[in-house]
Chain A
Amino acid sequence: MSEEQEFTGGDDAALAAELVLGLLEGEDKAAALRRQLADPQFAAEVDRWHARLDPLYHEFAEAAPGAGVWDGIERRLGAEAPAAVPADMAAGNAGNASIDPGNDPGNDPGNNNAVAQMKRWRFGALASGALAACLALALLLNPAQVDTPVTVPDTPQVAVAQLTGPIEGLVLAVSYNADTAEMRVDVDGMPETETEPEIWIRAGDGTVRSLGQIGRDGVSEMVLLQGDRALLTGDAQLFLTMEPPSETPHEIPSGEPVATGRISFI
């Protein structure tokens, strides 16, 4: 082998390795992630590089974090369950509230939007210790969206979910208003594919039902049918699959979820 040999610019193996190593940023990273989702051969190359480089993980030395880290994780897990939402957070709820991370100034190009969006959610959750507080913050930042105040509801009225998956950069932010049965899905980081994104509920009892296909980018809004509303409880999951284009919801998903998230009633 000659020392001068290197991957050419269009070599998938090089791109896959660069993605695995984390060398790419911005639009380059977004483009590679879209390839990973849309091209099974490229995805397999990414898997092969993960496998090749796996042993390097062994070289990271162990270190002891502070004793409070697990408590922080438990608090955040607690914030995802309705029973653990503090009453004062619930009192900040409003029937027609929606979280719209897209309201933030989106200066980042391409994939950075999705990454930045994910970070906003993540940092918000960290700063507050509770997803509920994220919603409260969103309400504070978007007061025009709150028309009426605000009585403590008898039942949870607003749910949120963040759907992510193995494809970095693909993020769905979902908000659901149980009063009006309106669901709002904000998609970011969806690659070019011949298939269409279809969103599904997996209810606590395992029932799976399609809510239909949504837009590839930006905000899609829908009103849930009565039968679907009953499935959308605190133990439900939402997930996204890529399906052949269809005017009507499919009966069953044809492939693995590309993004998944649990519902959190606020």
Chain B
Amino acid sequence: MATQNPKPGQAAELRDHLSHLLARVGAGDRSALKSVYDLTHAKLFGVCLRILNDDALAEDALQDSYIKVWRSADRFDAGRASPITWLAAIARNTAIDRRRALGTREYVSDDILADAPSNETDALTRLEEGEKADALRKCLGTLEEKQRNVIRTAFFEGDSYRELAERMGTPLGTVKSWVRRGLKRLKDCMEDE
């Protein structure tokens, strides 16, 4: 298993450790990149696999992601983002780019678009669960189901507006309206929290 299953109290320690490793990567230390890979590749591969739905494509995207990490780690700012989120965002964007470059995709069943959050929380997940996650979960819960679904689908499947409309067989304007209403309500709710 890639993660070390740390205790919740070790959350800050792991974040600091990853941030320190990324600083070393930014300075050109390849052994630090290997350490980052060992700690995070299972999470990042999960992101790529979810969006690409194909082992080989996801592995290619995973390689691309760590090459990007290597090239851009000197721009990681621990004051602005948690290291695992920064890494996962790179993997997500890389996988989305790759998927759109392919142009087509075998869609998996919409059944996987679980409305409820996944129960599969891994070690890094548990580490960073906190008030912010609770607020987001609560505020997503205040949205209408269709609003919540389009936002979650965009995030987890990497769909564009156009792809969402195709997936749902719904006019583009309707999908945009659902998303924007959902986002507006989400923003207002989180600002109130």
Bound-state Cα–Cα, A58 to B137, Å = 12
A56–B84 contact, CB under 8 A? Answer: no
Interface residues of B in 7-53 (CB under 8 A from A): 28, 30, 33-34, 37, 41-43, 45-47, 49-50
B42–A23 contact, CB under 8 A? Answer: no
Bound-state Cα–Cα, A14 to B159, Å = 16
Q: State whether the Cβ of A3 lies closer than 8 Å to any Cβ in chain B.
A: yes
Interface residues of A in 59-112 (CB under 8 A from B): 59-66, 68-70, 72-74, 76-77
B59–A69 contact, CB under 8 A? Answer: yes
Q: State whether the Cβ of B117 lies closer than 8 Å to any Cβ in chain A.
A: yes
A62–B154 contact, CB under 8 A? Answer: no
Q: Which residue of A lies closest to B60 (CB)?
A: A126
Q: Which residue of B lies closest to A13 (CB)?
A: B187
Bound-state Cα–Cα, A95 to B136, Å = 56
Quick one: which of A3, A21, A122 contacts B64, CB cutoff 8 A? A122
Q: Which residue of A lies closest to B125 (CB)?
A: A58
B71–A73 contact, CB under 8 A? Answer: no
Q: State whether the Cβ of A168 lies closer than 8 Å to any Cβ in chain B.
A: yes
Q: Residues of B at under 8 Å CB distance from A?
A: 1-3, 28, 30, 33-34, 37, 41-43, 45-47, 49-50, 55, 58-60, 62-64, 66-67, 70-72, 74-75, 80-82, 84-85, 88-89, 92-93, 96-98, 100-101, 117-118, 120-122, 124-125, 128-129, 132-133, 136-137, 144, 151-152, 154-156, 158-162, 164, 177, 179-181, 183-188, 190
**Which 9 A-B pairs give the minimum distances between C-beta atoms?**
A55-B133, A62-B42, A58-B125, A6-B181, A6-B180, A65-B45, A57-B88, A63-B46, A61-B120
Q: Residues of A at under 8 Å CB distance from B?
A: 1, 3-7, 13-14, 17-18, 21-25, 47, 50-66, 68-70, 72-74, 76-77, 115-116, 118-119, 122-123, 126, 164-166, 168, 235, 257, 260-262
